[in-house]
Amino acid sequence: MKTLIKDVDIVTLDEKGTVIRGGAIAIDGAFLVAVGKTPEDFAPDTTIDGTNHVAVPGFFNAHCHASMSLVRGYAEDLPLDRWFNERVWVAESALGPEEVRVGAQLAACEMIRSGTVAFNDHYFYMDHVAEVVEASGMRASLTWCQFGTGKEVGVDLEGALAFAERWNGKAEGRIRAMLGPHSPYVCPPAFLREIAALAKEKGLGLHIHLAESGEQVSRSLATHGVTPTRLLEDTGVLDVPTIAAHALYLSDDDVAILARRGATVAYCPITYMKLAMGPGDVPRLLRAGVSVALGTDGPASNNDMDMKEAVRFLTLLQKLACRDAEALAGDASLRVATQAGARAMGFPEAGALEAGRAADLVLFDFDKPHLVPRHDLVANLVHAAKGSDVSHVFVAGKLVYADGTILTLDEEKIRAEAERAAFRMVSRDLTVLRAYTS
Ligand SMILES: [Zn+2]
């Protein structure tokens, strides 16, 4: 299948940050064969008129719990510990495989519509999420989340590994799988050591939560005598490619460890604002050479999965927190939201629009009042464009969204099923709550 997008403005995010006005993009199969000029002997099966549209690499959501879409609006205005203990973990205890499937479908619809081509998911009943990814046409990196020593909730380590081996490389290579200890504050060091050794042996990466609060750091120092980040290094977790979600509370030594070990921090600005967790310091990480990717986190703490919105919040929050209007200037946030995540999730061929790269791209419809004038396409993308301005989404060369319609999933049916599934879950949750309080 060959597709030509003509007369389109292109924010390539190549090394030089090239922006092309009125160019062409030629797609052959899963890859870009030309960006800028139409190749002479290119005979497309389909041609898309890109007039008034801007092409940009698709977003890679580097940390989320997609199926938590069913908990959207169910855990509001609470501090982190009460948000977990009183709402989220209670609701999740009422969650079954069917809810996970429907929640992932709902999240996939939302992500595709707002220009996300891939997501890094950390949750339960992951075979159901994998099936949704396969059907949706998206890419994903998937992980069975493990609490404690992996024996208490969900599957044990053997089960998580079996899932990873079942799905890694599946869906025409669109799925990657990792192992996923929840965090160093939920999993004991011996388990971290065991899972890290297994990941290393099997050639898998790890996806974990890290240093979300100052309290987690003090507790780790009191219990283990080291920071959570040092604990990850000591237990071998950082011996394999690791995506560490959040990592907000880091000493200089912690930052140096993450840089030296090539770990990626998945930064989720909206969660930090909503749960009043603190802004972290992205420029500090980037200066030290730590790879930073962008995530939405789960819809219980965001409450949406719109990466375009997260791009703007990342930029604004860091400018404010650093008291530096030059922080994350130009296309820096777009790179965090695309190529950094692509690399960390195991799709290094994606994340820039250049010949030979993966055809993972999004068109924004710029024929809108808030996107006029076009002095600076990058600034318009970062600060003015909305996720809802996305008009087309290609993943691995396949068109999955065009002009308001998702071409791979039945969105109307999914919305209705999600409403029903969320209601069932909450009803079960109330039963749980009643049992607690009687
Ligand atoms: Zn998370």
On whether the CB atoms of residues 165 and 143 are closer than 8 A, the answer is no
Please state the residue numbers annotated as binding site: 63, 65, 92, 182, 209, 212, 297
On whether the CB atoms of residues 59 and 116 are closer than 8 A, the answer is yes
User: Computed from CA positions of residues 99, 101, 102, 107, in that sequence, does the dihedral angle turn out positive or negative?
Assistant: positive
C-alpha of residue 433 to centroid of ligand 1, in Å: 23
pLDDT of residue 148: 87
What is the residue whose two structure tokens read 């109330």?
430
C-alpha of residue 270 to centroid of ligand 1, in Å: 12
Q: Return averaged pLDDT per consecutive 10 residues of the chain, 438 residues in all.
A: 97 98 98 94 96 98 95 87 84 86 98 98 96 98 91 86 98 98 96 98 98 97 98 98 98 98 98 96 98 95 95 98 98 98 98 98 98 97 98 98 97 96 74 48
Secondary structure, 3-state, 348-363: CCCCCCCCCCECCEEE
C-alpha of residue 297 to centroid of ligand 1, in Å: 5
* Bridge partners for 390 per DSSP: 364
Q: Cβ neighbours of residue 164 under 8 Å, at least 6 residues apart?
A: 143, 144, 177, 178, 179, 202, 204
Q: How far apart are CA 296 and CA 312, in angstroms?
A: 12
C-alpha of residue 263 to centroid of ligand 1, in Å: 16
Q: 198: helix, coil or strand? A: helix
On whether the CB atoms of residues 132 and 326 are closer than 8 A, the answer is no
Domain boundaries, the chain: 2-57+351-405, 59-344
Q: Which CATH class is domain 59-344?
A: alpha beta
On whether the CB atoms of residues 208 and 245 are closer than 8 A, the answer is yes
Q: How far apart are CA 359 and CA 31, in angstroms?
A: 5
Q: State the Cα torsion 268-271-273-275 to the nearest 10°.
A: -150
Q: How far apart are CA 162 and CA 204, in angstroms?
A: 12
Q: How far apart are CA 209 and CA 199, in angstroms?
A: 17
C-alpha of residue 120 to centroid of ligand 1, in Å: 10
The neighbour count for residue 370, using CB atoms within 10 Å, is 11
Please name the amino acid found at residue 361. L
C-alpha of residue 64 to centroid of ligand 1, in Å: 6
C-alpha of residue 19 to centroid of ligand 1, in Å: 34
Phi, psi of 208 (to 5 degrees): -145, 155
C-alpha of residue 63 to centroid of ligand 1, in Å: 6
pLDDT of residue 352: 98
C-alpha of residue 88 to centroid of ligand 1, in Å: 12
Exposed (0-12), middle (13-18) or buried (19+): which is 322, by Cβ within 10 Å? middle
Looking from the CA of 39 toward its CB, the CA atoms found within 13 Å total: 16
Q: Which run of H or of E encompasses 145?
A: strand 139-146
C-alpha of residue 126 to centroid of ligand 1, in Å: 15
Please state the residue numbers annotated as binding site for substrate: 92, 182, 212, 297
Q: How far apart are CA 175 and CA 345, in angstroms?
A: 10
C-alpha of residue 322 to centroid of ligand 1, in Å: 24
Number of separate helices (H) and strands (E) present in the chain: 16, 17
Please state the residue numbers annotated as binding site for Zn(2+): 63, 65, 209, 297
Q: Cβ neighbours of residue 103 under 8 Å, at least 6 residues apart?
A: 66, 67, 68, 69, 70, 418, 421
In whole angstroms, how large is the CA radius of gyration of the chain?
21
Q: How far apart are CA 97 and CA 375, in angstroms?
A: 49
On whether the CB atoms of residues 375 and 167 are closer than 8 A, the answer is no
C-alpha of residue 437 to centroid of ligand 1, in Å: 28
- For the domain spanning 2-57+351-405, the CATH number is 2.30.40.10
Q: How far apart are CA 27 and CA 29, in angstroms?
A: 6
Q: Provide the whole-model pTM.
A: 0.96
Please name the amino acid found at residue 144. W
C-alpha of residue 7 to centroid of ligand 1, in Å: 40
On whether the CB atoms of residues 163 and 157 are closer than 8 A, the answer is no
C-alpha of residue 60 to centroid of ligand 1, in Å: 15
pLDDT of residue 431: 53
Q: State the Cα torsion 293-299-302-303 to the nearest 10°.
A: 140
C-alpha of residue 207 to centroid of ligand 1, in Å: 10
